[in-house]
Structure 1
Amino acid sequence: MDTTIRSSAQRKSRSAPQTVTEFEKWISRRKTDANYEFVRGRIIRKPPMKQEELFIARFLMRAFAKTQLYKQGAEMLSEGDAYVDTFRKRIPDLAVFTDEQIREAKNGKRFMPPLAIEILSDSESQNDVLDKVQDYFDAGVQLVWYIAPKQQKIFSYTSPDDIKVFKGQDVCSASPVAPDFSFTINDLFNA
């Protein structure tokens, strides 16, 4: 009887995904359209972008489409996988993927985009934000924007410890990723 309990507990622990690869196999067996992030054994449901946030995505995508990086084949995409390492996978609300990354993804290569953009949700704590920012930089992202719609601000991270806050008439730039991708905060929120 004791061995049955142990083997049942062993089966349970073995079935819980421990790596991104195991998590992706696990999620592929589920019948769901929901997005989930995976962070060191934790499966975190990621709510989709809300309709009232679509104006942000549209503004940013249209502005990005005017850049040199876009002309070189890069794209700003929503809710694409961003791989940190073997144990962490995030899904930024928006991200810039280079032409090379898009081509390599076709062959199964995993990577982190150079620019990750998150729209702050009411359910995210400060620790959630800091954890995501750290994960992005651990994977080699060059720039993270956290957009706070209610406060009409962008928190721009060039490292986990280097942050600049843009608001009002401030000009926010995606340098060094795309130096010609810039706009005033008022233009974004009044779009």
Structure 2
Amino acid sequence: MATAFTPTKLITVDEFQNLEFDEPVELVRGEIVEMTRPGARHGKLCLRIGSALETWSTQSGRYEAIGNDSGVITSRHPDTVRGPDVLVIRKEKLPDQKVPVGWLTVPPDLCVEVLSPHDQWPLVLDKTAEYLAAGVVEVWLVDPDEQAVHVYRADMAPRIVRGNDLLATETLLPGFSISSSQLFAGI
């Protein structure tokens, strides 16, 4: 479960990037929020999704797949820095078409969040809405308990992918697909 530290003043992105933490944290509307370290199942799913998206993005040559809670600035004043488990961004959106050393200042095309047992749906849906409001085109909420992927876009109703359904979006990720059953095999 995430725990918020209430500072005497709101923290900015610049201040946040100079702080060091022992546990994973995010900056949410100027407040530092400690995240619970996820378990092995979470890590396995992140690796599987990240590997599939990395293989696809390398073959496409036009996208970058990035993982490991890399920071994305989703809002300013007050500032928010989120760390999606996996993200995909078109190279043309990146400075010099290269992955920056620091946090992304432009919205990715796709953010993937793998749910952990301690995650609370209202907070996860708030984060999803935040990603979409920041300009992320699509958000995947991967639910290992339900063995389903909840797909959210600002321009359409949410959909759920499960079983042999394909997780594919030709307009967003041309040529990428993976079935829900492949994604959750052995999980």
TM-score (norm 2): 0.79
TM-score (norm 1): 0.78
Larger radius of gyration: 1
- Judged with a 3 Å threshold, the aligned counterparts in structure 2 of structure 1 residues 130 and 46 are, in CA distance, closer, same or farther, namely same
Q: One-letter code of the match for 1:159?
A: A
Q: Residues of 1 paired with 2:109 and 2:38: CA distance?
A: 21
Q: CA deviation at 1:46?
A: 2.4
* Structure with higher helix content: 1
Aligned residues: 174
Q: CA deviation at 1:160?
A: 8.2
Q: One-letter code of the match for 1:36?
A: V
Q: CA RMSD in A?
A: 2.6
Q: CA deviation at 1:107?
A: 7.7
> SS at the partner of 1:121?
coil
Structure 2: which 5+ residue stretches go unaligned? 1-6
Alignment partner of 1:182 out of 151, 162, 177: 177
Counterparts in 2 of 1:1-191, with a 5 A limit? 13=8, 16-25=9-18, 28=19, 30=20, 32-67=21-56, 70-72=59-61, 74-86=64-76, 87-100=79-92, 101=94, 103=98, 105-106=100-101, 110-159=105-154, 162-190=157-185
> SS at the partner of 1:141?
coil
Q: CA deviation at 1:177?
A: 2.5
Query: Contact (CA 8 Å) 2:46, 2:114: kept in 1 or not?
Result: no
Q: Residues of 2 paired with 1:128 and 1:118: CA distance?
A: 12
